[in-house]
Copies of this chain bind each other. A is one copy, B any other.
Amino acid sequence: MTDSRHTRIRSTARDVAQALGISQSTVSRAFTEDASVSPQTRAAILRMAGSMGYKPNALARSLITNRSKIVGLVSGSGGNPFYADALQRFSQHLQQQGYQTLLFTAPAGHDVDALLPVVLQYQVDAVIVLSAPLSAAMAEACERANTPVILFNRALSGAKAHTVACDNVGGAALVADWFAALDCRRPTFVAGRDDTSTNRERLQGFTSRLRERGMPLWRVVAGGDFTYEAGYRAMQTLLATPGDAPDAIFFANDIMALGGIDALKLDQETAAAGLHRRPAIVGFDGIAMGGWASYQLSTIVQPLEEMVAAAVRIVTDPPPEGQLVEAKLPGKVLVRASAPAAAPARPSVSPEQSARAAVL
């Protein structure tokens, strides 16, 4: 009576060795890049292994080398395309460096604390946290387990974790400059989840640069969430008192801005068209949908590829013991139709960039 669950018969290094009448360790060496095996033996081994379908067991290897070549990627469950994109790139970059990605998704609304013990059981070489909050306690647990943690676009003050992020404060300041150059009178911020560092930093960077320029922040609308629906509702709120509309709106991220644009469109269809001037709209992220013809969203583009590369580099070339990386990469202005380019004269946005608006 054989338990079928225990019947995963895959051939082992010993099987190959026996078939060839050589020692098991020689077989092992044939699969190690810089081990001393004669070319003939190696060739014979590889041929035999091929015909027997043998491949070294990565789990057994990890046990002895103490390095699993697995990275735990912990992510929230929001539907933000920016993070879907990031996830794909992480997977590809890591793969290319010989690492595997073990994916964990936090249930909606939860933080990732409950997941981490499991992640650690799989002996991951590092943990990357991707769009979900992590408690300081858990960061410490990783520290104790000697597993580096990399926070991607998340800040966690005082925690022993590496950080790779877009310069949210600086990016938001660019938006303030932009609105100033457009001579806007009623700059408005639509907030996402306000317990996130991205939201706080974008609001803060926006507000303080406006203040530096002597412009008061006209209004802040709480979206509550980084979603299309939240952006849509926020715009409705803003349009509720018709005589009192903003002339420039900075949304906490792109997908909210898309919702806002849609709400605005509907409103302008309803009201006598052209009754109030279209406000300038700017988002943050640089997701593909912003370039779609219906939106033509102006935005601050995060240097996603570079950010991912930076995070992966921390995994592949770990910094000296005890040293924490804190990378903050600058975002770039992308001008499309939703907010006109600023005039050249003042220290703000260059006009030549409006050429980049073409969608196809």
Contact = CB atoms under 8 A, between A and B. Distances in A.
A146 interface: yes
> Closest 9 A-B residue pairs measured CB to CB?
A262-B293, A84-B84, A294-B294, A91-B105, A58-B121, A101-B103, A103-B103, A59-B59, A53-B144
Interface string A335-360: 00000000000000000000000011
A258 interface: yes
A147 B7 CA distance: 11
Interface of A: 4-10, 53, 55-60, 62-63, 65-68, 70, 73, 77, 79, 81, 84-85, 87-88, 91-92, 95, 100-105, 107, 115, 117-118, 120-123, 141, 144-147, 228-229, 232-233, 258-259, 261-263, 265-266, 288-289, 292-295, 321, 359-360
Contacts of A263: 293
A360 B233 contact: yes
Contacts of A359: 232, 262
Contacts of A121: 55-58
A59 B146 contact: no
Nearest to A147: B8
A336 to B, nearest CB: 14
B145 A10 contact: yes
A281 B333 CA distance: 35
B104 A103 contact: no
Contacts of A68: 59
A88 B102 contact: no
B79 A85 contact: yes
B6 A66 contact: yes
Given A53-B141, A102-B103, 10 more contacts: A5-B67, A55-B120, A56-B121, A70-B102, A77-B92, A84-B87, A91-B104, A95-B105, A259-B292, A265-B294
Nearest to A140: B53
Contacts of A7: 146
A123 B147 CA distance: 23
Contacts of A232: 293, 359-360
Contacts of A60: 63
Contacts of A117: 55
Nearest to A106: B92
A259 B55 CA distance: 45
Most B C-beta atoms less than 10 A away, residue of A95, A103, A107, A265:
A103
Contacts of A70: 102, 122
B321 A293 contact: no
B262 A122 contact: no
Contact of A228 (B67, B79, B292): B292
Nearest to A291: B228
A97 B129 CA distance: 22
A67 B4 CA distance: 11
Nearest to A101: B103
Contacts of A53: 141, 144-145
Contacts of A73: 103
Contacts of A107: 92
